[in-house]
Structure 1
Amino acid sequence: MKVLNRIGELIPGLLLALAIAACAKFIEGLLPIHLIGASVIALFIGMGLNQIRKPSDGVAKGLKFTSKKILKFAIILLGASLSIKVVLNVGRLSLVVMMFTLLTCFGGGYFVGRALGLNWKLSNLISAGTGICGGSAIAAIAPVIDAEDKDIAYAMSATFLFDMVMIVLFPIMGQAMGLSDMAYGLWAGTAVNDTSSVVAAGYAFSEGAGDFATMVKLTRTLAIIPTVLVFSLIEVREKRKAGIVSQGEKVKITSIFPWFILCFLGMAAINSLGVFPQELSSGLKELSKFLMVAALAAIGLNTDFREMRKSGINPMIHGFIISALVVVVAIAVEYFMGIV
């Protein structure tokens, strides 16, 4: 009976998030040009509804469940879209570029965040969104470091705004520099943040560039795994500093290991072995994307603009600086490698 009562408490909030996700997908489909993904649309719808009326106690538990548990489940399903074979083929060219862009994001992001006075969680969420894969990376790291919903929303907004600029400017800059399809695809796949933005910027240049940029982006997604593991350890260190975990107390790896990431990797391995039919793999990927949209809708519903305003404009400045640095570093590494 208790289990049924627990499920009953979760349903209203879950259904509300799913309804917003469906609306966001519908709006995304109406757009003549794919400039903005459903996840960002759902986040903004949720934030807008929060300003009109804050979520009632009847939906609060379901929204929390959706923003935490459903989000992790969506990340697991995302693994079904990855193939180790594709990763290895594309990785030979993209690995070096990605190493430099990730170092730029987290190394440069650390100093930029400190200079701007941002808390380490918000700063690193922005860096992860910029360096790995936009909303997916932010979504994967947020539960590991117990990030607040307002920080997640701010990080999403910071990466999204710069993505919109890059969608317009990247094809223009690529043509001006005379980049080949492969060189441009590698550049867009490593420097543009969100998957939908990579697709938009890639195919705006050419079909070949779009195909290669998309493969690079999927390879880049695997950086989520080591990044989440590192941040799990950082979170324990921060809890020790705060006295939540005593200095002498041993922390079991099982208590901090993000098991949903292990499941994510398992799904990618299974898919690489050809166990999943193409139709099932595609279906799981679409389900993952939809559940992630629902989770971001829940995060938006729990986000208050007034709380975000307290952070000021500094998070946006952080996102702009790091994104600009990644764009420059990515193309510079390609030049040094002789790809351009």
Structure 2
Amino acid sequence: MLKRQAEQMARETKTIFPGLLVCLTIAMASGFLSDHYGGPVMLFALLLGMAFHFLSEEGACKAGIEFAARTILRIGVALLGVRITFDQIADLGGLTIAGVAAGLVLTILFGWILAQVLKLKPSLGLLSGGAVAICGASAALALSAVMPKTPYTERNTIVTVVAVTTLSTVAMVVYPLITEYFAMDHVEAGVFLGGTIHDVAQVVGAGYSVSEEAGDVSTVVKLLRVTLLVPVVLVFSFIFSASRKKKGEESSLGILPPAFLIGFVIFVFLNSMSYLPSMAIEHMTDLSRMCLVTAIAGLGMKTSLKEITKVGWPVVILVVSETIFIALFIFLLVACF
């Protein structure tokens, strides 16, 4: 029995190795470009991956690319939990927590409604709204993992990732100027930047460009949004599972939370209880980042540029509108309270 299992594992490893190696190579190349020339590493991974789309269509790399885009993705999302503690979230105060949570929910609902106004699939509005409201590319990947698979799922995911990554980079430059123009103090600036910018890296860059205190506050607010990924993924999983059952289809999603989500919560708990040494947290954070970049490379390789060009302006309008919506909501929250 053990021998057969070992042989099967060896066969599966041999099958996925070529494609996974290509994804890892693209991820490392993207990291090199980001470190030496600036720019978001995930955007580099997407663009480089799309340049090698032909490898995903057939041949030895196909299985490994699929493995990277699905399994490696889930590992990366689970490991995001090592960056968060319950104390960090509690220190923000009830009003800030409630305001950020409300902004998240309303942004997702806004995306769902606007998608239908623009005659797009409601699921695209939920996906892009969740990505904008929570943590950009990482949220898009996590949410798409529990949404039903359609011929358009991967294209919608990759377009959402491209859009939120690009807008997050723009926000990293523009939003600190807004905080300066409106004379926000360090805490207000931190709440605004952490509550509006999509990706964690861009929040850190924007926050610490204002001040050390603004950087600390913005990072914790952003991590609160990342933590809210857990209930949102659970709700998405339940909604789409119930929808499939209502239509008489078999549901592969189930009511139980996905394993990667359980892993995320476990890591948050372990970090909150100080069970994880600082060196382990540092290495696991780096591993999470590498897994997500590798997954993005895989998704990029599975995406055809020809298909991307068919998306059209309505999708661009959708994501930009969601970005403006959450920015206005958090700005009013800061201004009023």
TM-score norm. by structure 2 comes to: 0.92
The answer to whether residue 298 in structure 2 is matched with residue 303 in structure 1 is no
Q: After the TM superposition, list the runs of 4 or more consecutive aligned residues in structure 1 that deviate by more than 6 angstroms.
A: none
Mapping for residues 278-289 of structure 1, pairs under 5 Å: 278-289=278-289
The answer to whether residue 10 in structure 2 is matched with residue 4 in structure 1 is yes
**Shift in Å, 1:184:** 0.5
Q: Is the 8 A contact 2:172 2:206 kept in 1?
A: yes
Which whole-Å CA distance do the structure 1 matches of 2:127 and 2:188 have between them?
28
Matching residue of 1:290 = 290
The answer to whether residue 120 in structure 2 is matched with residue 118 in structure 1 is yes
Query: Does the residue aligned with 2:134 lie in a helix, a strand or coil?
Result: helix
**Shift in Å, 1:150:** 1.1
Which whole-Å CA distance do the structure 1 matches of 2:58 and 2:75 have between them?
25
Matching residue of 1:59 = 61
Which whole-Å CA distance do the structure 1 matches of 2:16 and 2:277 have between them?
33
Which whole-Å CA distance do the structure 2 matches of 1:71 and 1:91 have between them?
32
Query: Does the residue aligned with 2:193 lie in a helix, a strand or coil?
Result: helix
Q: Is the 8 A contact 2:109 2:126 kept in 1?
A: no
The answer to whether residue 49 in structure 2 is matched with residue 49 in structure 1 is no
Q: Is the 8 A contact 2:18 2:61 kept in 1?
A: yes
Q: Which one-letter code corresponds to 1:201 in the other structure?
A: A
Q: Which one-letter code corresponds to 1:41 in the other structure?
A: F
**Shift in Å, 1:308:** 2.0
Runs of 5+ unmatched residues, structure 1:
246-250
Which whole-Å CA distance do the structure 2 matches of 1:222 and 1:145 have between them?
19
Q: Is the 8 A contact 2:16 2:64 kept in 1?
A: yes
The answer to whether residue 63 in structure 2 is matched with residue 28 in structure 1 is no
Which whole-Å CA distance do the structure 2 matches of 1:9 and 1:332 have between them?
53
- The alpha-carbon distance between structure 1 residues 16 and 253, as it changes in their structure 2 partners (threshold 3 A), is closer
Q: Is the 8 A contact 1:185 1:209 kept in 2?
A: yes
- The alpha-carbon distance between structure 1 residues 41 and 253, as it changes in their structure 2 partners (threshold 3 A), is closer
Matching residue of 2:333 = 333
Of stretches 259-268 and 197-206 in structure 1, the one that deviates more from structure 2 is 197-206
Q: Deviations over 1:73-96 (max 9, x none)?
A: 111111112111112112535312
Q: Deviations over 1:185-220 (max 9, x none)?
A: 100100111111111221222222112111111121
Query: Does the residue aligned with 1:257 lie in a helix, a strand or coil?
Result: coil
Q: Which one-letter code corresponds to 2:44 in the other structure?
A: I
Which whole-Å CA distance do the structure 2 matches of 1:121 and 1:186 have between them?
29
Matching residue of 1:169 = 174
Matching residue of 1:155 = 160
Q: Is the 8 A contact 1:191 1:327 kept in 2?
A: yes
Which whole-Å CA distance do the structure 1 matches of 2:170 and 2:325 have between them?
14
Q: Deviations over 1:231-273 (max 9, x none)?
A: 011111332354313xxxxx79966521210111011101111
TM-score norm. by structure 1 comes to: 0.91
**Shift in Å, 1:221:** 0.5
**Shift in Å, 1:176:** 0.8
Q: Deviations over 1:94-140 (max 9, x none)?
A: 31221231132112111111011222332211111110011111111
Q: Which one-letter code corresponds to 1:180 in the other structure?
A: D
Mapping for residues 153-232 of structure 1, pairs under 5 Å: 153-232=158-237
- The alpha-carbon distance between structure 1 residues 115 and 261, as it changes in their structure 2 partners (threshold 3 A), is same
Q: Is the 8 A contact 2:143 2:236 kept in 1?
A: yes
- The alpha-carbon distance between structure 1 residues 31 and 252, as it changes in their structure 2 partners (threshold 3 A), is closer
Q: Deviations over 1:1-34 (max 9, x none)?
A: 22211111011111111111101111111135xx
Identity of aligned residues (%): 25
How well do the aligned residues superpose, as a CA RMSD in angstroms? 1.9
Q: Which one-letter code corresponds to 1:49 in the other structure?
A: F
**Shift in Å, 1:310:** 2.2
Q: Is the 8 A contact 1:108 1:322 kept in 2?
A: yes
Matching residue of 1:13 = 19
Q: Deviations over 1:43-95 (max 9, x none)?
A: 11101222x76553211111111111111111111111211111211253531
Which whole-Å CA distance do the structure 2 matches of 1:232 and 1:242 have between them?
16
The answer to whether residue 272 in structure 2 is matched with residue 272 in structure 1 is yes
